[in-house]
Structure 1
C-alpha cells in the first residue's frame, strides 16, 4: 500500500520552471499527428508545498527522506515521477533516478536522473528526451538545466516537429536557451539537417517558442521568370504593438533591381485598416529606367450603430506594372483599379449606401465614368397583410478624366406597390412601379444630349410560379422530383432616351435567371420599354439527403411588340432560348452546361460546358469549353484541361492547359509538383502564359508570352503553419468548380 507524507520545503524548490515562458497551443493545419503534451495544473500543490507518494518511505534522523517504488513528487509548479528519490538538507535538495519523467506546463522530459538544488535555484536533468507543450516540437539533449535566474538551457540538443522515426528535418545545436519571460529561444552553432544531410549552418539562431506575433524574418519566396529573372523576396515581420504591425519585404529581381514592398495593419475593436506600398527604383529592364510603384489602402469598420465605412483605394505608376511585377491583389488581365469610399447604413426596413467611385484605367480601355458621389436609398414596409411598399432612390454625379466627355448629375426615384401571395405550392405577385429620373448634363455642346432631361416611366409586372413535387426514383435511387413552371408578363412604357448620356449603362448578357429581370441594361441611363411574356421551366431531382442531383432550366422571352430602346440590338419576336443544366453523376462526376441559341438562325450565341471527375479534394480531372459567337466583334472559343492527382505518398501533381481554338494557340500552360510531409514541404511550379503587356499606344499585345519557374520550401512548425497557397489557385486562370449544385 502506498504511503504519503507532506513536506514543508523552501519556496525555491522547483521554482525555476514557473518563470519560464508558457506557450499557448497552436492549431497547425497539415501537421504531424503526434502524441499531444497536456498538463493538468489542478494536480499541483499550494505554493510552497510538496507532496511525495511512494511504495516505500524511509526518513533518517529527520534530515534525509528516501523514497522508492513508483515515486511521484508534486510541487506547486511540476510533477516528477521516478523509481527512487532522495530529499535532503531539510527539503532543499532533491535527487531522483530510474525512469525519471518531469512534467510541467511547458514541457515533458524523460531522463536518467534529475536533481534539484534550492540553494542554486536550479533543476538539472541528464540524458533526456523532451516534448514541448503547446508546440509540435520534440528532441533530445545531453542535459537540461532550469535555473530561476538564467532560465532554460539545453546542451547538445536536437529539435524537430516531425514524428518519432520520421525525422525528415531537424535542428542540431550545441546549446539552446530560453531566458525567463522571453518569447524567443536562442540556439548556438546550429546545423539544419534534411534527412541525415546537413544543409545549412548558423553560428546563432533565434526562434519563436509561442504562437504570439513576434518580430523576425519569415520564410523567403524564390522564383524565376522571363519578366523578373531570378526573384528572391525576403519578408520581415515587425510586431509594433498588439493592435498594429508591419511587414517589410525587400525583393531582389536580377533583371529589374531591388523592390521594397511594405504592409501596415491596424486593428481596433470595430475596424481593420491595411496599407500596402510597393516601390521599385530605376527599373533596369526598361531603357528609361523609370521608378515604379503601387499602393493600396483598405479600411473596414463600424463608426456608429448600423453605420459601416469601407475604403478601397488603389493606384500604380504605369499600365504594365501588374504585368511586369505581378500583384497579390490584381490579375494581369485586369484593366481597372478601384478607388472607392463607401458609407453604409442598414436596418430592418431601411438601407442607405453612399459611394465615391473612381477608377485607374489601364491601357486604351474605354474611359470610365466616376461616381462622385453616388447615394442609394432603399426602404421596404408592409402596408397590410396583402400590400407591400418599396422605395428605391438614387442620386449621383458622374464625371470622367477626359475633359471632352459630358458630365451629369442624376436623381432617380422608383416607388413600388406590390401584392404578393407566397405559399408552399407556388407564388403569385403583381407589382406597379413609377420610375422618375432627372438629369442635369454639362459639356453637351455638339452632341445629341440635352442639358436638362426628365424621364417618367411606368412599369407593371405580373409573376406566377408553381411548384410540383412527387416521389420517384433517379438512376435506381429514391428521390424527389420537382417541376417548377414560371410565367411573367412585363410592361414598361417608352420614352425617348437618346438625349441621355451613357454613364453607368451597358447591355447585359442574359442567362435563364436574367430572362425574368425585365431590364436589358446595367445602371439607369437606359431603361428598355417592354411588352413581353417570359416563360421558364425548372426541373430538379433531390436525393434522400436533400441534395440536388440534377437540375435543368429553360427559358425564353416572347416580345408582344418591338422595343424602341433596343431596336438596334434586337429585331425579332423572341429572345434567344436559354438553358442551364447541372448534373451530379454517381457522386464523383459533375456536369455543368449553359447555352443560348438564337431563334433567328438557330445558331449558338454563347455556351459553356464543364465536366469534372472528383475523387476527393486532391484527386480530380476537369475539362471545360467556352464559346461566344460575338464579343466586341470577336469570336471566343477556348478549351481547358485541369487536373490534380497524387503521384506517390506525400507527392501531389497539378496541371492545367488552356487553348484558343480561334487563334489556334495555347494561352496558358501550368505545371506544379509538391512534396508535403507532416513537417515540411517543397513545391516546384512552371508556367507559360500570355504576357498581356501594353505597347506605347496603350494597346494590349496578344502575341507575347511569359514563362517562369518558382520554388517554395517550408519547414512546418518554425515560422510557418503550412503551405501558404494552393497550386490550384495559382496561374492566370486558376481553378473553379464547374457546377453550382447545392
Structure 2
C-alpha cells in the first residue's frame, strides 16, 4: 500500500508538470517591466502642467479641448494614450476612449474607456487589464478604480503573476484591493484557480504583491512516508506587530493523527530577540511507547543590556526519546542522542571578560548521562605587551558538576591559569616562548568513596612555538605562481602528576588532525592534563596565482615523543608509549575554476594503517550546478568497528525552469545505503513545484518500547507548490542538498 501511495503522488506531480511545460512558453521572459516613477518633482500632481499632443484638436469652450487621433497626455510621471480624449482643465477631468493605455510609473492600465480626475488623482476604467510595474503582477477586471490613497480597487477581477494569456494560476474574487506602495493586496469572495480549476475558496484573503509576509494562509506542504503516512501541513501566519509574529501549522498525518505546531518570534528594542516553538500531538495512534502524547517545546533567546553585557538562553523539552526519529522536526535531527539546555550571561570588555553559565543535558536513548554544569563561572583577562615585551593572560573557572545518577560522584572545581609569553615576530617568521601554570582545586562527593574528597593539583607548562616563512617565484606550464614554505615546530613540556584520584566530569580525548599536533592539550576539559615531553615538526606549503588567490595548500606533520605520556583517562585510553604520533596531513587544491580536491589523513607509521581519512572531490559551476564526491574512514571508532562511507551529491540546473538534485551515501562496511535523497524542481515565471524523495536508515537509540517495531529504512516523499506573487521562493542547489542527513558541504578552504 505504501508503494502504491508513493507512486500515485509521483504520477500526479509528473502529469501536472508535463501540463505546465505544454502551457508555459519557455521563451517568455520572467523579468517584469520596470517601475519608472522618478519622484523628482516635489509638486502635487494637481499643480503639474498637462502636456498634450494629437492629430486633431478642437476647443470646446475656454477650458475644454477634444483631442482625436494618436492622443498623448503627460502630467508629471503619468502618461495617457488613447484614440480620443476630452480634457477639461477647469474641472480637472479627463475622459478617454478607444485604445486607452494609462501609465503612472507604478501601474499600467489598458481599457476602452477611462475617466480620471487630476484633482484627487483618481481614475475609473471599465473592462480593464492592469499590470503592476516592477513585478509580474497582472490581471483583469470588469471595473477598476485607482487612486493615490487606496491603490487599486477591482470589481469582478482576477490577479496572477503568470505571463501567459491563460495563466497557470489566478485569484478570482468579487472584489480585490491592491496597494502597490505597501506591496499588499486583499480579496473578498476569492477563488484560487489552478489551470482554471477552482482549488480553494476564501471568504477573505490577504496576499503579498512582493515578497513581504502578512497575516493569512501560507503555502501547504504535502508528503507521504512510512513513519507518518500521508501528510498535509497548512501554515497560518499572523503578523501581530512589526516586532511580533506567529505561525500556526496544523499537520495531518494519516498514520498518527493531527499535530499542532506553533512558532512565535519576537524582537524587543533591537537587542533582544528569540522564538518559542511548541509541537503537540495529543494521541499518536502509531506510537509504541506508554504515553501516546507527543510534544516538543523549545525556547531560544539572545539579548544584551548594553555594550558590555550579553545574555542567552536555549531550552528544549521532549516527550520521549524517539520524538526526532518519528516526527521529522526541523528543531532536531533523527540522529541526535542528546538535547542541550543552557543559559548564560556575559560581561565583555577590553580588559576583563566574565561569563556565568548553566548547562544541562537530556540523553536520548541508551547513552551515558553527561554531567551538568550548575553553574560554570569564568573570568579572563589578556594584556598585550604587559611588561618588557611580555604578554600576560589569565583564565579562571569555577564549576559545580551534578549528575542525575545518585551512584556517580559530583564535584566543585576551581581552576586558575596564569600565562606569561614572550613573542618575537617578523615577516620572516615568529617565535613564542610561553610559561603557564595549571592550578586546580576539587571538592568531590563520591558515594563509593573511591575518590579523594579534596584534591589540589599544580602543573607548570613550558611551550616554545616557532614558524619560518619562505617564498619563491615559480613558473609552471607557462604561468607565474608564488610558492611559500612554512616550517613549524613546537616543544612542549609538562611534568607527570598522578590524577587518578580526580573524577572525569567534562573530559574526553580530543580528535587528532594536523592542527591538533600543535595543541598543548590532548584532552578536553580540565580533569586530565597529560604529561608531555615532546617535539612537533610540521610544514605547510601554499601556491598563489597571479591574482594572489590561494590555489593549493598542503600540510604534513608529526609529534616526536621524548618520553612516554602516562596520564590517561584510564590505564590505556590516552596513554602514549610510542616514539611518534600518527603522521597527519591536509590537502586543499583548487585545480581550476570548477574543480577542487580536499582531504585529510592520519596515518599510523608504526602499524602501517590509516587511522582516519577524508577525501572530497568537487565540481562546481555555480550554486545550481555542482557535483561532490566524498569518502570518510575512521578506524576503531568503537570496539574494533570502523566507519567507511562514500557518498555523492549533485544538483544540476538543466535550464531556467528545470533543476535536478540528488545524493547517496553508502556504508561500505555493511554494504548498504545509509541515505538516499533525490528530487526535482520546476520553476516557471509565476509558480514552482518541488518534489523530493528520501530513503534513510532508522536510528534505533535504545531497546525501549518507543523504538520497537522500527523498520530498517524510512521512505518519504514531499511535495511543495510555490505560487509567486502569493509569497514563497526557491532555493539554490546546495541549499536543497542540505536537507539530507549527511548533506552537501560547500568547499570553504580555498577561494578562486
2:697 to 690, 700, 713: 690
Please state if 1:434 is matched with 2:437: yes
Q: Which residue of 2 aligns with 1:614?
A: 620
Contact residue 228 and residue 253 of structure 1 kept, 8 A: yes
CA distance in 2, matches of 1:653, 1:213: 28
Q: Is 233-242 or 123-132 further displaced after alignment?
A: 123-132
Residues 529-560 of structure 1: CA deviation (Å, up to 9, x unaligned): 11000000111111122222111111110011
Q: Which residue of 2 aligns with 1:735?
A: 744
CA distance in 2, matches of 1:233, 1:620: 31
Contact residue 33 and residue 163 of structure 1 kept, 8 A: no
Give 1:237 deviation, angstroms: 0.8
Alignment of 1:248-259 (within 5 A): 248-259=248-259
Residues 293-319 of structure 1: CA deviation (Å, up to 9, x unaligned): 101100011112211111111110100
Q: Which residue of 2 aligns with 1:387?
A: 390
Give 1:372 deviation, angstroms: 0.8
Give 1:638 deviation, angstroms: 1.1
Give 1:164 deviation, angstroms: 5.7
Contact residue 728 and residue 734 of structure 1 kept, 8 A: yes
2:684 to 671, 677, 694: 677
Alignment of 1:320-331 (within 5 A): 320-331=322-333
Please state if 1:631 is matched with 2:634: no
Q: Which residue of 2 aligns with 1:157?
A: 157
CA distance in 1, matches of 2:530, 2:320: 39
Give 1:739 deviation, angstroms: 6.0
CA distance in 2, matches of 1:299, 1:166: 48
Please state if 1:87 is matched with 2:87: yes
Q: Which residue of 1 aligns with 2:21?
A: none
Residues 12-50 of structure 1: CA deviation (Å, up to 9, x unaligned): xxxxxxxxxxxxxxxxxxx93221223133347436435
Give 1:107 deviation, angstroms: 2.0
Q: TM-score, normalised by structure 2?
A: 0.88
Please state if 1:36 is matched with 2:34: yes
Distance 1:456 1:137, change over 3 A: same
CA distance in 2, matches of 1:572, 1:422: 34
CA distance in 2, matches of 1:185, 1:111: 23
Distance 1:146 1:462, change over 3 A: closer
Instruction: Give unmatched runs, 5+ long, in structure 2.
Output: 1-28
Alignment of 1:240-251 (within 5 A): 240-251=240-251
Q: Which residue of 2 aligns with 1:521?
A: 523
CA distance in 1, matches of 2:40, 2:622: 44
Q: Is 609-618 or 526-535 further displaced after alignment?
A: 609-618
Give 1:587 deviation, angstroms: 2.4
Instruction: Give unmatched runs, 5+ long, in structure 1.
Output: 1-30
Q: Is 279-288 or 107-116 further displaced after alignment?
A: 107-116
Q: Which residue of 2 aligns with 1:707?
A: 715
CA distance in 2, matches of 1:573, 1:384: 39
CA distance in 1, matches of 2:411, 2:748: 42
Alignment of 1:495-574 (within 5 A): 495-566=497-568, 568=572, 569-574=575-580
CA distance in 2, matches of 1:698, 1:609: 39
Give 1:290 deviation, angstroms: 1.3
Residues 455-507 of structure 1: CA deviation (Å, up to 9, x unaligned): 00000111110011111134543211011100111111221110111111000
For the residue of structure 2 that corresponds to 1:41, the secondary structure is: coil
Give 1:266 deviation, angstroms: 1.2
Contact residue 109 and residue 130 of structure 2 kept, 8 A: yes
Give 1:201 deviation, angstroms: 5.2
Q: Which residue of 1 aligns with 2:233?
A: 233
Please state if 1:406 is matched with 2:405: no
Give 1:145 deviation, angstroms: 2.6
1:307 to 306, 309, 316: 309
Contact residue 656 and residue 683 of structure 2 kept, 8 A: no
Give 1:186 deviation, angstroms: 1.1
Please state if 1:456 is matched with 2:462: no
Please state if 1:642 is matched with 2:681: no
CA distance in 2, matches of 1:461, 1:116: 84
Alignment of 1:132-143 (within 5 A): 132-133=132-133, 135-143=135-143
Distance 1:537 1:273, change over 3 A: same
CA distance in 2, matches of 1:545, 1:454: 56
Give 1:140 deviation, angstroms: 3.3
Q: Is 715-724 or 576-585 further displaced after alignment?
A: 715-724
Q: Which residue of 2 aligns with 1:16?
A: none
CA distance in 2, matches of 1:149, 1:520: 69
Distance 1:429 1:328, change over 3 A: same
CA distance in 2, matches of 1:572, 1:734: 38
Distance 1:115 1:739, change over 3 A: closer
Q: Is 332-341 or 668-677 further displaced after alignment?
A: 668-677
Residues 96-119 of structure 1: CA deviation (Å, up to 9, x unaligned): 245533234752223333113699
Contact residue 177 and residue 187 of structure 1 kept, 8 A: no
Give 1:333 deviation, angstroms: 0.6
Q: Which residue of 2 aligns with 1:46?
A: 44
Q: Which residue of 2 aligns with 1:716?
A: 724
For the residue of structure 2 that corresponds to 1:499, the secondary structure is: coil
For the residue of structure 1 that corresponds to 2:516, the secondary structure is: helix
For the residue of structure 2 that corresponds to 1:91, the secondary structure is: coil
Q: Which residue of 2 aligns with 1:278?
A: 279
For the residue of structure 2 that corresponds to 1:448, the secondary structure is: coil
Number of residue pairs the alignment of both structures matches: 708
Q: Which residue of 2 aligns with 1:17?
A: none
Give 1:710 deviation, angstroms: 0.9
Q: Which residue of 2 aligns with 1:584?
A: 590
CA distance in 2, matches of 1:584, 1:475: 16
Distance 1:453 1:703, change over 3 A: farther
CA distance in 2, matches of 1:417, 1:149: 70
How much is the aligned-residue C-alpha RMSD, in angstroms? 2.9
Q: Is 237-246 or 147-156 further displaced after alignment?
A: 147-156
For the residue of structure 1 that corresponds to 2:49, the secondary structure is: strand
1:668 to 656, 664, 675: 675
Residues 248-305 of structure 1: CA deviation (Å, up to 9, x unaligned): 1111110111111101111012110211011110110025461111011000111122
Residues 316-356 of structure 1: CA deviation (Å, up to 9, x unaligned): 01000000001212111111111000112222233222211
CA distance in 2, matches of 1:119, 1:40: 21
Residues 620-668 of structure 1: CA deviation (Å, up to 9, x unaligned): 2222211111112221111112222234552221121111121222111
Give 1:409 deviation, angstroms: 0.8
Give 1:563 deviation, angstroms: 1.2
CA distance in 2, matches of 1:151, 1:265: 31
Q: Is 229-238 or 87-96 further displaced after alignment?
A: 87-96
